[in-house]
Structure 1
Amino acid sequence: MSWKRDILKTAARDKVVKALQPVLCDMLDLSMQLKQAHWCVKGMGFLTLHEQLDDIVATTRNASDEIAERIVVLGVAPQGHCQTVAADTRLDQYADKFVDVEKTYTLVADRLDKTITGIRSAIEVVGAPDPITEDLLIGVSADLEKHLWMVQAHEGEAR
């Protein structure tokens, strides 16, 4: 579908949406993986991480909604079905068991890092044809980078 008054020319729109859709899949998967981590973390420091994960989930869900709505604004239906997310996510599957606090911090940091890398790649693609989308992704990346900093602070020594 295209709107009566398109914001971007078709080629630019297609380029931007092609960059946004994988980011949407990663963000939706990240929010689900973070809830899995939230439910299955155990050990000393459980409560701190449990609550921290809820904050990160809220950020990822809000950002997912903004990204999906940006795709709609551009006149394309976002693809956020479970099947699409499972097939297209660039994130590794999260553990399907209980995980101790220390390992959870590492798993979460790895997934935040991978998601941020995907967003930064998309920023490079969308900047010229659509600075509005670029601005949206810069804000999302900044929020996730702040969460990554806080998660990494719990990991201990630098790698």
Structure 2
Amino acid sequence: MTQTMANTHTAHPPFTASEQLANHLQQLLVDLSELSLQGKQAHWNVVGRNFRDLHLQLDEIVDAARDFTDEVAERMRAVYVTPDARATTIAEATTLAPFPAREVDSATTVDLIAAALYAVSGTARRIHDDVDAEDPTTADLLHAIITRIEQLAWMVDAENRIANQSVPAQVNA
């Protein structure tokens, strides 16, 4: 004889996300997921000058994107939001421009991946103030994401820069 147990568990979390916070974190999750996919697409299909270094650098970008994807999804669960990183959701909701489905020259790959990194950073920066107002703890995660993603963007973008000529120009303190 099988007995079913009534659901008697009731959690009393001190904080649960609002719909706005849930939507913001979902968008960041989608964009980070797309970044990891684009990074691998680039990794497999980059050709040209400085191939090997760029090939390895793309893996570093993918690793960071995947780590942050997991951290965002787990934070979502911690504040009672269900993350959705299914392929169809990512394809429908990403704010990143598409990456080509062919071989891509290394210089073009640098520009495309730098743009993708800056797009993810842009998403994190766009949602930051709303997230911080509702949940400073989650905002701390955004700080780490922005710091690392912008560092990776600077590093990959430097491949195509021309000293003292590229835009944006450096600000001298």
With the length of structure 1 as denominator, give the TM-score of the two structures. Answer: 0.93
Matched, 1:53 2:58: yes
In 1: Cα distance, 2:52 partner to 2:41 partner: 15
Matches within 5 A, 1:80-119: 80-119=85-124
CA contact (8 A) 1:29 1:85 kept: yes
Deviations 1:83-126 (A, max 9, x none): 11111001111011101111110011111111100011111110
- Helix, strand or coil at the partner of 1:154: coil
* Alignment partner, residue 125 of structure 1: 130
Task: Give the alignment's Cα RMSD to 1 decimal.
Answer: 1.2
Q: Could you list the runs of 5+ residues in structure 2 that have no partner in the other structure?
A: 1-9, 168-173
Matched, 1:30 2:26: no
User: How far off is 1:5 after superposition?
Assistant: 1.8
Instruction: Using the aligned pairs only, state the percent identity.
Output: 35
In 1: Cα distance, 2:15 partner to 2:19 partner: 9
Matches within 5 A, 1:129-140: 129-140=134-145
CA contact (8 A) 1:7 1:74 kept: no
Computing the radius of gyration over CA atoms, which structure comes out larger, 1 or 2?
2
The amino acid across from 2:12 in the alignment is R
Counterpart pick for 1:78 among 73, 78, 83: 83
User: How far off is 1:38 after superposition?
Assistant: 0.3
Counterpart pick for 1:8 among 8, 15, 21: 15
More helix, by proportion: 1
In 1: Cα distance, 2:20 partner to 2:97 partner: 26
In 1: Cα distance, 2:89 partner to 2:67 partner: 19
* Alignment partner, residue 4 of structure 2: none
With the length of structure 2 as denominator, give the TM-score of the two structures. Answer: 0.86
Counterpart pick for 1:156 among 148, 161, 167: 161
User: How far off is 1:133 after superposition?
Assistant: 0.5
In 2: Cα distance, 1:62 partner to 1:27 partner: 9
Q: Could you list the runs of 5+ residues in structure 1 that have no partner in the other structure?
A: none
Q: Which has the higher contact order (CA 8 A, sep 6+)?
A: 1
CA contact (8 A) 1:123 1:137 kept: yes
In 2: Cα distance, 1:6 partner to 1:87 partner: 32
